[in-house]
Structure 1
Amino acid sequence: MSASRGDLAAAGAHLAALGLSPGSSGNLSVLDGDRILITPTGADLARIDPDALSVLDLEGGHLDGPRPSKEFPLHAAFYRRDPAARAVVHLHSRHATAVSCLPPWSRRSAVPPLTPYFVMRVGQTPLLPYAPPGDAEQAGDLERLPFPLRAALLQNHGPAVAGTSMGAAVDAAVELEEVSALLLALGERPARLLTPAEAEVLAAKYGSPWGE
């Protein structure tokens, strides 16, 4: 078993243990050379068999293994748009999904800079307009966005996050869920956001995508 397969299975178990993957929701992938290893359709992230993953090429063509998650176009789009991406996490976590049902904070980010860790670990997170799960046109829209990002909210659906490793993608997905919970807890009360200058300093120091 390759390390990539083991990392993916361990990440699924961790996210499920955190309560971020209810039922059989969510899907994970990792880049293994020039192939995408992705969870099969209907997979329970708590019980991923690392030897029974779907294998795709970078265009989403099915090469081996069981039928892939219907969200495979989204995963492939992340890898094609960002050569640094090595893993993708898509969840239906409660708070980030709730935020995906609200108007976005700005054109580039559905979530405002509430905390330094959101800016550092996630960065600007645009809201992609609603499309049915697995929609190839929505994946194309993500791929063509003309600014850097490593996370997006799918409207009325949930978060999708890429990372330079599976660990980085998981950490960013967890951080996005946490900042979404904070945003919902604040409700309509005026919140002190990081200033543009404060956010830019963090983005520059940690190499995260932020800014107009």
Structure 2
Amino acid sequence: MSETKLREDICRFGRSLFERGLTPGSSGNVSVRLDDGGWLVTPTNASLGFLDPARLSRLDALGRLVSGDAPTKEIPLHSALYETRGAARAIVHLHSTHAVALTMLPEIDPRAALPPMTPYYLMRAGQTALLPYFRPGDPAVADAIRGLAGRYSSVLLANHGPVVAGDTLEAAVFATEELEETARLYLLLRGLNPRYLSPAQVEDLVRVFGLTLPAHDPDEGHSHGGQPHHP
């Protein structure tokens, strides 16, 4: 895909995310990795709803600004996720309401922030890791992401928001939306003892769709509201 088309797609998807209230004000950022190893990334303090294709930040393979406005200060988290997720070609980071709210709950398991509630959550986002709080732009977040060793394509930053990688920009956007909707479902059903997908149902999805999910024993560590992830 041409760089011109990618620039247009970043602006188109950014406006869609903004107009549906998934990242307010000038929050959130999007990047796409180019064939030469460089990136296109949204500028610092730019609203995703009002991006200009010509002003997107163009970085070289070493992360140096080549053209456009100054890039988002969240470059470290994008860089670390690309480094550890070799197949990733796009990353979306939002401040979406329900995903942020989820990170503040005491029962959330950092190895699997959400239970297997729907097939499309697993198919698009996989399991989601929860990282502790880091100041926005803190380079230390990169080390935390590297510590996940590429096992997760979707990550939640505590009190901050989701960071999701995909093999295309569209895939990253759709996975981020699925993560937000699953977080919303979790909050709606919290305390109501909902029925999650069974281990057999999860295994069927893994087999049929070729999913790769991080190994996780739901009986260890935290649980969701006192119940295991796979009842």
1:129 maps to which of 105, 128, 132 = 132
Q: Which residue is 1:22 aligned to?
A: 24
Q: Which residue is 1:83 aligned to?
A: 86
- What is the TM-score normalised by the length of structure 2? 0.86
CA deviations 1:49-72 (Å, max 9, x no partner) are 111111224453333321111111
Q: Which residue is 2:224 aligned to?
A: none
- Once residues 75 and 161 of structure 1 are traced to their aligned partners in structure 2, the CA distance between those partners, rounded to angstroms, is 9
CA deviations 1:126-180 (Å, max 9, x no partner) are 0011110111111221123135211000001011111111110110011001000
Is the 8 Å Cα contact of residues 4 and 32 (structure 1) preserved in structure 2?
no
- What is the TM-score normalised by the length of structure 1? 0.93
Letter in 2 for 1:19: G
CA deviations 1:16-46 (Å, max 9, x no partner) are 1221021111111111121111100011111
Letter in 1 for 2:211: S
Greater CA deviation, 109-118 or 143-152?
143-152
Q: Which residue is 2:34 aligned to?
A: 32
- Once residues 167 and 195 of structure 2 are traced to their aligned partners in structure 1, the CA distance between those partners, rounded to angstroms, is 31
Give runs of aligned pairs for residues 1-212 of structure 1, distance below 5 A.
2-33=4-35, 34-103=37-106, 105-146=108-149, 148-210=151-213, 211-212=215-216
Largest Rg, 1 or 2? 2
- Size of the aligned set, in residue pairs, is 212
Q: Report the CA distance shift for 1:106/1:208 in structure 2 as closer, same or farther (over 3 A).
A: farther
- Once residues 13 and 113 of structure 1 are traced to their aligned partners in structure 2, the CA distance between those partners, rounded to angstroms, is 30
Greater CA deviation, 136-145 or 120-129?
136-145
Structure 2 portions without partners, runs of 5+: 217-231
Structure 1 portions without partners, runs of 5+: none
Moved over 4 A (4+): none
Is the 8 Å Cα contact of residues 9 and 45 (structure 1) preserved in structure 2?
yes
Is the 8 Å Cα contact of residues 114 and 183 (structure 2) preserved in structure 1?
yes
SS at 2:55 equivalent: coil
Is the 8 Å Cα contact of residues 124 and 209 (structure 1) preserved in structure 2?
no
CA deviations 1:55-91 (Å, max 9, x no partner) are 2244533333211111111111111111211111100
Provide the identity percentage: 46
